[in-house]
Every structure is written in C-alpha cells, then in structure tokens.
C-alpha cells in the first residue's frame, strides 16, 4: 500500500501513504513543508486497482490531526479521532468486548463539547417560553394522586 495516493471522498488529493503502524496508515502531506499524520484504517477504503486510499473523513479533520514525528502516539490519535483505542475503559463501553475503533465518547458528551444544547435543557426552555404548566391547563396538584378523583362529580 506504500506509495498509494490518499484522497478525500471528493477525490481531492491529501497526500501519499509512506508506511503503516498497527491499525494506522502513515500519510505524508504537503509539497514544500511536508508533514506526516497517522490515519486510522477505520476511516479508509482501499482501491488496489487505482492504487488509491479514500478517506471517509473530511480533509480539515485529517490535516488538524496530531503529527507523527518518529514515534506514533496511538492513544493521542485515537483520542483525537474519538476512538476507544485510546481509553482503558471508555464511557461508551458496554457488556461486550471493546475494540479499538469503537466510539470512545457518547453522543451526549460529543454534543456538549460541540456546544449543542442538551435535549433536556431545550425542553425546559420550551416549557418556560410556553408559560409553565399552570397556564397550559394542567393543575398544580394532581387529584388522582393527592385526593379524590371524583370530587367534582355528583353521586
């Protein structure tokens, strides 16, 4: 696979494969100021006929990844890409076996780090904007739980 071009899904060339390290391809990028980055095989599709490796992630995400200068820091790379390989026991770990390309972060944690408002908070804000529970015809106390259900009916 060494020497294969690495391209995005849109066929934009990113670099060339110059080696491998475990579950990562080492990709050299740039023409004058060259840098090397490790790309997890999880995010690649290899086309041996065309001698091309297609990334399933964006170019910006790849270009901003940790650089490889000699030794590959697999934990830092896994952490950057959000893979479980960099964690001893990721929060997403269930009862099965954790493999290196499992997600290390749940959707709620990822949304929080991206600045997305949690769903529970959005619902609370919507209730406040609607005027609260008493304005919506819902009694402050529930007669079904705290009193006689049929208090207002005739015998």
Name the nearest CA neighbour of 87 among 96, 75, 71, 99: 75
pLDDT given for residue 70 in this prediction:
79
d(CA 30, CA 38): 14
Q: How many CB atoms lie within 10 A of CB 104?
A: 23
Q: What is the phi/psi pair of residue 145, to 5°?
A: -100, -30
- CB-CB neighbours of 28 under 10 Å: 16
3-state secondary structure of 127: helix
Q: What percent of the chain has pLDDT over 90?
A: 14
Averaged over 128-150, what is the pLDDT?
A: 59
For 23, 64, 73, 118, the CA distances from 113, given in Å and listed in that order, are 27, 17, 23, 11
pLDDT one-digit tens code per residue, 23-59:
888 999 888 888 899 898 888 999 999 999 999 988 8
**For 86-112, how does the pLDDT look when each residue is reduced to its tens digit (9 = 90+)?**
555 555 555 555 555 555 566 666 667
**What is the layout of strands, in order, in the sheet containing 24-29?**
35-40, 24-29, 13-21, 5-7, 52-55, 44-47
């Amino acid at each position: 696979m060494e020497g294969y071009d690495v391209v995005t899904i849109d066929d934009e060339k990113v670099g060339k494969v110059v080696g491998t390290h475990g579950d990562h391809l080492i990709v050299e990028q740039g023409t004058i100021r060259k840098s090397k980055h490790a790309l997890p095989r999880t995010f690649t599709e290899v086309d041996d006929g065309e001698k091309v490796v297609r990334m399933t992630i964006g170019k910006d995400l790849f270009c901003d990844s940790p650089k490889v200068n000699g030794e590959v820091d697999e934990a830092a790379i896994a952490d950057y890409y959000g893979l479980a390989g960099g964690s001893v026991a990721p929060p997403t770990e269930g009862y099965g076996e954790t493999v290196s390309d499992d997600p290390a972060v749940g959707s709620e944690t990822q949304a929080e780090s991206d600045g997305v408002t949690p769903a529970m908070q959005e619902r609370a804000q919507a209730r406040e904007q609607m005027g609260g529970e008493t304005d919506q015809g819902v009694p402050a106390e529930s007669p079904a739980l705290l009193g006689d259900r049929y208090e207002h009916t005739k015998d």
